[in-house]
A and B are shown apart, each in its own frame.
Chain A
Amino acid sequence: DAGVIQSPRHEVTEMGQEVTLRCKPISGHDYLFWYRQTMMRGLELLIYFNNNVPIDDSGMPEDRFSAKMPNASFSTLKIQPSEPRDSAVYFCASKPQGADTQYFGPGTRLTVL
Chain B
Amino acid sequence: KQEVTQIPAALSVPEGENLVLNCSFTDSAIYNLQWFRQDPGKGLTSLLLIQSSQREQTSGRLNASLDKSSGRSTLYIAASQPGDSATYLCAGDSWGKLQFGAGTQVVVTP
Contact = CB atoms under 8 A, between A and B. Distances in A.
Partners in one complex: yes
Given A42-B103, A43-B89, A102 B98 contact: yes
Contacts of A42: 100-103
B97 A106 contact: no
Nearest to B51: A100
Given A4-B43, A106-B43, A107-B43, A100 B103 contact: no
Contact of B43 (A45, A100, A101, A105): A105
Interface in B27-81: 31-32, 34, 36, 41-46, 49, 51
B: interface residue count bin: 20 to 34
A56 interface: yes
Interface string A22-65: 00000000000000000000111100100000001000000000
A88 to B, nearest CB: 14
B46 to A, nearest CB: 5
B4 to A, nearest CB: 9
B101 A91 contact: no
Contacts of B34: 100-101
Given A100-B32, A100-B93, A106 B98 contact: no
A106 B100 CA distance: 17
A42 B87 CA distance: 12
B82 to A, nearest CB: 22
Nearest to A109: B41
A48 B97 CA distance: 9
Interface string A80-105: 00000000000101000000111111
A105 B66 CA distance: 27
Contact of A45 (B31, B42, B44, B97): B97
